[in-house]
Amino acid sequence: MSSISPLLPRVTQVQVLDNFELLLEFKDGSIKQFDVKPYLSLPAFKRLSAGGLFAKAHVQRGTVVWDEQLDLAPETLYLKSQKVSRT
């Protein structure tokens, strides 16, 4: 019998930073920074590197989306981002 992992906090706010990074706030109050650069070589994300699409990041359904076809899983955002201290 496998156990069901608890739901991870959802994204509530996103701020686009320089150098293809995102500053994220999660429902649990944590603030983290996520580096999108490693994903830009993947076919689905290549178009983020040109044309200004990256700057259009916004929160929808608890995750970061750019358009109706491109998003990042909230689990990826939470688990692979670096915690940032509140300033």
Domain definitions of the chain by residue range: 11-83
Sheet containing 82-83: give its strands across: 11-17, 21-26, 31-35, 82-83
Whether residue 30 is predicted with pLDDT greater than 90 in this model: the reply is yes
Residue 1's pLDDT is 38
> Which CATH superfamily, name and number, covers 11-83?
NE0471-like N-terminal domain (3.30.2020.10)
Residue 27's pLDDT is 94
Whether residue 3 is predicted with pLDDT greater than 60 in this model: the reply is no
- CA 12 – CA 14 distance, rounded (Å): 7
Whether residue 4 is predicted with pLDDT greater than 50 in this model: the reply is no
Chain position carrying tokens 């076809």 = 69
Using the Cα atoms of residue 43, residue 44, residue 47 and residue 48 in order, give the sign of their dihedral: negative
Q: What is the pTM of this model?
A: 0.88
Phi-psi region of 36 (alpha: psi -120 to 50; beta: other; left: phi over 0): alpha
70 near 45, Cβ under 8 Å? yes
**What does the pLDDT average to over 61-83?**
94
Whether residue 5 is predicted with pLDDT greater than 90 in this model: the reply is no
